Amino acid sequence: MNDLTNSQTAILAGGCFWGMEEIIRAIPGVAKTTVGYTGGKTPDPDYEAVCTGKTGHAEAIEVMFDPAQLSYETLLDFFFRMHDPTTLNRPARRHRNAISLGDFSTPATSRNKPPRA
C-alpha cells in the first residue's frame, strides 16, 4: 500500500521493538512501521534515557495498516500470537505491554529513533 490516505494506525508495545517490527512489517496489509516509545512522562526521551527506566516509557512500534486488507482485530491476533501479555516487564520495564489505536504524535509517545543494535 503506497497511498496511506485511508490507513489506520496502531501502537503496539510488547517487548523489544526491533523483534516485533521485523515480524509485524511482514503481515499483509501493513504499510509502514516505525519504532519509538509510548506511555512515559519525559518528553522526547532518547534510548539511553528510556533504558534507565526513569522515563516511564515502553518500547513500541507504530503500525500503519490498510483496513481494507487487514482489520485491527486481525492485527491484534498476530500481536497476541507473538507476545504473551502476562510476561510483565521482561527483560526490562521498557519492554512492558501497551496497545492503542493512534500514533506517535499523541503526547505520551515519541518518535525518537533509538540506535540500532
Tell how strand 8-14 and strand 97-101 pair up.
antiparallel
- Identify the active-site residue in 16, 49, 64, 76: 16
> Does residue 16 have an active-site annotation?
yes
* Dihedral sign, Cα of residue 44, residue 47, residue 53, residue 57: positive
Give, to the nearest 10 degrees, the angle between helix 72-82 and helix 17-24. Answer: 130
Residues with active-site annotation: 16
